[in-house]
Structure 1
Amino acid sequence: MRDMVRRVTRCAVGLIWGAAAAVVELLYTLLAGLLLLLVVAWPRGRRAVLRPVLAGARSLTELNRTRLRTWLRAHTSPAYEDTQALGYLACRWTLGVLGAVVMLSVAIGLGYGTSWLYLWLLVDDIRNTASIVYTSLGGLFLLFLAVQGILAVAELEGKLARRLLGPRHQDALERRIAELSASRAAVVDAVNDERRRIERDLHDGVQQRLVALGMLLGRALRSEDPARTDRLLRQAHGESRQALDDLREVAWRIYPTTLDEAGLRAALETVAERASVPVRVEYGLAGEPERAVGTVVYFVVCEAVTNAVKHATPTRIVVEVGSKEGALYVSVEDDGKGGANATGSGLFGLARRVAALDGRLEVRSPPGGPTLVTAELPCA
């Protein structure tokens, strides 16, 4: 319900701006039509007339693209011709007028729908109660239809922009194929990188511990001094415990069993408990996300927290997980010294993990901090 209210409000603001822009677009279209008639009558002045006309059309179209992207969440291709921009403006102003009519209907429906309230407050003796009830119900019904009209006109705005400015359906399919090919290759590279990291952790950590353990036990077997044997066995016991801890750490980094057994929230809280600095987890999801999405979110948080502790020397880290407009949103912010390298192996691997699910990862880490790692993933 809250997301729907936000969406309607955002679209309403976009339509209001579109209605105001429609006045300018209509005047500009009429002026451009008159100037183009001059071109027909005076062919030699074609270049002198067309250049400012097309430049103005592109400027107005860019303002509309910004409005569509900001308020209506409609994205169009920037690679369009100036003549396409002029044609778009010639058609777009009609939708601006339609949006103005819809917003006027919202105001009328809201006024009539709440008429009972201010009549009850301002009028002492209300005699025709039935007509007031009918008027209020009619106003609420008009308001309901107008709200549906807001969403419909917003959808038409996006379709018109994509139809006249692009991208074309064929271009969108080709871009999607290229994205899928790149993400598939990135997944293969990420798997290979993960295998190399696991091999390195086992070789440099667990294997070295086991070698030291074997050497200590061999020296203890060859020793004839009971005190020295006891000391070597104690050292071997300590190495075995350390090797077990290292092995658990490697297993935890490969895939945490808590994620399957207790869910994403419990896994993130475990990451916070294992960190050497205070980590606050703000979990705002009502349900459990899909396993693939939850796994990526976990590794984004785990890698971002690990990098912050290792390189940024922060005093606190805040992890926030929530949903926003049909997407799962996760952010990790620390108050460290900043300067994180977004192209480093760890963050680059995270970006490939996120891209494999059609998500987006962003890293903002100016020198001096703070560092903010955010990711958006599509989630039903």
Structure 2
Amino acid sequence: MLGAVMAVAELPFVVLSGVSLLLVLAWPRGRRAVLRPVTAAVRTLTEANRRRLRIYVAADTSASYTDRRALEYLSLRWALGLLGALVLVAVLIGAVYGTLWLYAWLMVADVRHPGTVLMSSVAGLFLLFLSLQGTFGVAGLEAKLARRCLGPSPHEQLELRIAQLSSSRAGVIAAVNDERRRIERDLHDGVQQRLVALGMLLGRALRSKDEMRADQLLRQAHEESRQALTELREVAWRVYPTVLDEAGLRAALETVAERSAIPVHLDYGMDRDPETAVATVAYFVVSEAVTNAVKHSGAGLITVRVAQGEDGVLVHIEDDGAGGADSSGSGLFGLARRVAALDGRFRVDSPAGGPTIITAELPCA
């Protein structure tokens, strides 16, 4: 509607500007005098369109466009505005005819041609459907035109890409350091303590002169060695699961589901495994999300979906817990940096009361 209203102002402006510039084409001083107000009006109208598209269409435009590009944009934009107006008229006509049967039977006591009323209603609903689809088409054309005429220049795109790569590189380094600290903490608090206890038990068994006491200490030492081996396997699994290389992403995710203390429903919709880097990040996203849900959510069921998206692999994890997950926490923030390293998108939606939904798209360059 706003685009149609703005087209009413843009069309006469473009026509009058074109005629005015044509009249002073061979007169430099007059051309400059006409260009100043025309350029100011072009900027005003273009900025209004940029705000409209940024709010409703999320079109990617740049503020560094030239006056010539802005004038080119307006000289084409008014046609889309009028097309949008025609689509809106079609929506209204379709809505009126689509509900014809309703007020025909409510307001008219004797309907003489019910078949005609029914056919008109069906045709109106069909027109309403087509015109509503047309609104999406007009919005798409608006976004494409804005990107073509007002989009960022190649230099700006390169600067943005450099900034993204610098940020993702720093994120990868930080994620690697965080992972090293976590491994060190797991080894120090778990495996190392078990080995210390094992050494103490073996020392006491060697010094003991009571055979029964020594046998009891050896049994305790054997149990400690089993626990240490289990914890060491857990640490190795969290560092990198060998099943991911040996059997693929699906088998690795099935193992995560089997090891979870909360039931996990896995919906794997990939025809073939993605490349190693993408599969690794997808695995760690699911593994960390499931671990967080088990520790903090109080959920009764976790649903994991892995499917082929438009731009790559789509990973969706949802739990029915209490919600309130902190996306800036170390775990989820580390996952966001892993995903960003592949030019992916990572989103956490966890309102109070739940559910918590974590989505990752890999990659989305």
Question: Quick check: TM above 0.5?
Answer: yes
1:268 partner SS: helix
Is the contact between residue 85 and residue 165 of structure 1 (CA under 8 Å) also seen in structure 2? yes
Q: For this pair of structures, how many residues does the alignment match?
A: 300
1:278 partnered with 2:249: no
Cα shift at 1:166: 2.2
Is the contact between residue 317 and residue 332 of structure 1 (CA under 8 Å) also seen in structure 2? yes
Is the contact between residue 335 and residue 369 of structure 1 (CA under 8 Å) also seen in structure 2? yes
User: d(CA) in 2 for partners of 1:379 and 1:350?
Assistant: 15
Cα shift at 1:91: 2.0
Cα shift at 1:90: 2.4
- Structure-to-structure mapping, 1:71-90, within 5 angstroms: 75-77=59-61, 79=63, 87-90=72-75
Partner of 2:120: none
Is the contact between residue 217 and residue 236 of structure 1 (CA under 8 Å) also seen in structure 2? yes
Is the contact between residue 293 and residue 379 of structure 1 (CA under 8 Å) also seen in structure 2? no
User: d(CA) in 1 for partners of 2:145 and 2:45?
Assistant: 20
Partner of 2:94: none
Partner of 2:193: 208
Is the contact between residue 304 and residue 373 of structure 1 (CA under 8 Å) also seen in structure 2? yes
Q: Deviations over 1:276-297 (max 9, x none)?
A: 0100011111111000000000
User: d(CA) in 1 for partners of 2:44 and 2:141?
Assistant: 25
Cα shift at 1:32: 3.3
Q: Deviations over 1:16-38 (max 9, x none)?
A: xxxx9886554331243478799
TM-score by length of structure 2 reads: 0.72
Partner of 1:290: 275
Partner of 2:314: 329
- Structure-to-structure mapping, 1:314-353, within 5 angstroms: 314-353=299-338
Partner of 2:210: 225
Distance verdict in 2 for CA 1:99–1:286, change over 3 Å:
farther
Partner of 1:107: none
User: d(CA) in 1 for partners of 2:66 and 2:161?
Assistant: 26
Is the contact between residue 5 and residue 81 of structure 2 (CA under 8 Å) also seen in structure 1? no
1:239 partnered with 2:224: yes
User: d(CA) in 1 for partners of 2:361 and 2:339?
Assistant: 8
Which of residues 160, 166, 169 is equivalent to 1:181? Answer: 166
Task: Give the stretch that moved more between structures: 194-203 or 77-86.
Answer: 77-86
Cα shift at 1:82: 11
Gaps of 5+ in 2: 21-29, 86-136
User: d(CA) in 2 for partners of 1:281 and 1:222?
Assistant: 53
1:301 partnered with 2:301: no
1:170 partnered with 2:155: yes
Is the contact between residue 54 and residue 82 of structure 1 (CA under 8 Å) also seen in structure 2? no
Cα RMSD between the aligned structures? 3.6
Distance verdict in 2 for CA 1:307–1:269, change over 3 Å:
same
User: d(CA) in 2 for partners of 1:302 and 1:187?
Assistant: 18
- Structure-to-structure mapping, 1:29-48, within 5 angstroms: 29-33=10-14
Distance verdict in 2 for CA 1:306–1:288, change over 3 Å:
same
Q: AA paired with 2:307? A: G
User: d(CA) in 2 for partners of 1:324 and 1:280?
Assistant: 20
Is the contact between residue 304 and residue 332 of structure 1 (CA under 8 Å) also seen in structure 2? yes
User: d(CA) in 1 for partners of 2:84 and 2:322?
Assistant: 48
User: d(CA) in 2 for partners of 1:267 and 1:79?
Assistant: 47
TM-score by length of structure 1 reads: 0.69
- Structure-to-structure mapping, 1:21-100, within 5 angstroms: 26-33=7-14, 57-64=46-53, 69=58, 75-77=59-61, 79=63, 87-94=72-79
User: d(CA) in 1 for partners of 2:240 and 2:299?
Assistant: 26
Distance verdict in 2 for CA 1:85–1:63, change over 3 Å:
farther
Q: Deviations over 1:198-220 (max 9, x none)?
A: 11111111010000000001101
Partner of 1:139: none
Which of residues 341, 355, 363 is equivalent to 1:356? Answer: 341
Gaps of 5+ in 1: 1-19, 70-74, 101-150
Distance verdict in 2 for CA 1:379–1:161, change over 3 Å:
closer
Cα shift at 1:88: 2.2
